[in-house]
Amino acid sequence: MSSAKNNTRLRKNAGMSTRAIHAGEQRQRYADSITTPIVQTSTFAFPNTDEIEAYTSKGKERFEYGRYGNPTEQVAQRRLANLEGAEDCVLFGSGMSAVITTILSLIRSGDHIVITDDAYKKTLEFCTGYIQRFGVDCTIVPFGDYQAIDKAVRKSTRFIISESPTNPYLNIFDLNRLREIARRHKILTLIDSTFATPVNQRPLEFGVDLVIHSCTKYLGGHNDILAGAVLGRTKLISQIRDLHNAMGGVIDPHCCYLLLRGLKTFPLRMRAHNESGMKMARFLEGHPCVLRTYYPGLESHPHHAIARKQMSGYGGVVTFEIKGGLRAAKAFLNSLKLCYIAPSLGGVETLVTHPGLVSYYGRTRKERYALGIKDNLLRLAMGVEDCDDIIADVDQALRKSVKK
């Protein structure tokens, strides 16, 4: 079922926090509950055959079967659509399910797609290793090389897919330039905006066609769910929803409840992530044990000017190169007392990961270095603890990394 209808109770210009709490909901809910109930059911009963016919032939909006929609899911979809400024949204059981279902719903044999080279590893793997089985060709272009993107487009090109900010270097795609290229060639644009969230960047306002999120990250915000979303115009989203209904990688109602719960504090949390990210980036940039810090809010970041134009905050992820190589990186991680060593980002707990040891495990050192994944590279995903406590933990671990 479409999630296109927005909540009419809200003022048109209601603020982000108000929308994050109220958007998508009916004013009166089951048993006058303040929270959206978890409708834990796999199917929905018809009271009689007239109701079946009203639904099947007269277009009555109602629920039929869990794979095609659920009331808790519908509220979450409507809320996300409202926050992103989208006509419609479809939720998935994970971010990757959102990415892959979207790609599959848009391509046909003989098509060609363009992807930038520092897209999320699994997205890149799917585009370079799987879609060829369906007769679809893919060109990888260097991130930030707009001429290369322009040149890569063919008559058969269906869309350009990229991310902003990217992982782990937090590169920023100039969305105005993306729109210009795409409009000229009449192709679609897909942006994975997971690292930005609608608080910091809204790609649809720049003319992007589809926005993808791993809601596992900031939108859920508590390191306790897996979820994904695609947002955009109703026509495109319906096409994606049709395939999603068949593929069945649906999100369950309990997970939707947790997502809705997380969303209520999402703008508040983002404020804390943005502040802590900036503070940590400045701290690391001036630290004697750190070689280089990557954060789009820093003047030293190569895409700082673009970030300032199209983002209102820079998020909680800070990437840095530690002095001393793999030995120092391991010593740093093993000395942390408060931050967890874990992949992922956007939750309330601060997580630190070593992309070379975790996400790029199995690749040779040469392959990793070609992708910029060096032995001394660490990625810090700030939670919402008191920033000074995280800085103190990182500082003591950095100092130990030199000694060990």
Q: Does 231 bind ligand PLP (CB under 6 A)?
A: no
Residue pair 234/264 in contact by the 8 Å Cβ criterion? no
Q: Which of 69, 71, 95, 203 binds ligand PLP (CB under 6 A)?
A: 95
Alpha carbons 223 and 4: distance in angstroms, whole number:
28
For the CB of residue 330, give the shortest distance to ligand PLP in the complex, in Å.
22
Residue pair 38/97 in contact by the 8 Å Cβ criterion? no
| Beta bridge mates, 341 | 352
For the CB of residue 259, give the shortest distance to ligand PLP in the complex, in Å.
12
Q: Which is nearer to ligand PLP, 19 or 379 (CB)?
A: 379
Q: Does 120 bind ligand PLP (CB under 6 A)?
A: yes
For the CB of residue 295, give the shortest distance to ligand PLP in the complex, in Å.
17
Show contacts with ligand PLP in window 147-166 (CB under 6 A): 163
Q: Does 223 bind ligand PLP (CB under 6 A)?
A: no
Q: Which of 94, 245, 265, 396 binds ligand PLP (CB under 6 A)?
A: 94
Contact stretch for ligand PLP (CB under 6 A) within 154-162, 192-200, 232-240, 389-397: 192-200
3-state helix/strand/coil string of 39-70: CCCCECCCCCHHHHHHHHHCCCCCCCEHHHCC
Alpha carbons 48 and 187: distance in angstroms, whole number:
46
Q: Which is nearer to ligand PLP, 88 or 118 (CB)?
A: 118
Q: Does 96 bind ligand PLP (CB under 6 A)?
A: yes
Residues 6+ apart with CB under 8 A from 221: 262, 263, 265, 266, 269, 346, 347, 348
Contact stretch for ligand PLP (CB under 6 A) within 187-195, 311-319, 375-383, 392-400: 187-195
For the CB of residue 125, give the shortest distance to ligand PLP in the complex, in Å.
12
Q: Which is nearer to ligand PLP, 253 or 346 (CB)?
A: 346
What tokens does 101 get?
Answer: 């279902």
Q: Does 214 bind ligand PLP (CB under 6 A)?
A: yes
Q: Which of 36, 216, 223, 310 binds ligand PLP (CB under 6 A)?
A: 216
Contact stretch for ligand PLP (CB under 6 A) within 189-197, 299-307, 311-319, 360-368: 189-197
Q: Which is nearer to ligand PLP, 129 or 135 (CB)?
A: 129
For the CB of residue 166, give the shortest distance to ligand PLP in the complex, in Å.
8
Sheet of 157-163: strand order equals: 88-92, 228-232, 210-214, 188-192, 157-163, 112-116, 137-141
Q: Does 342 bind ligand PLP (CB under 6 A)?
A: no
Contact stretch for ligand PLP (CB under 6 A) within 40-48, 90-98, 154-162, 176-184: 90-98
Q: Does 277 bind ligand PLP (CB under 6 A)?
A: no
Look-up: residue for tokens 């791993």?
214
Amino acid at 260: L
**Chain residues that interact with ligand PLP, rule: CB under 6 A:** 94-96, 99, 120, 163, 167, 192, 194-195, 214, 216, 226, 228
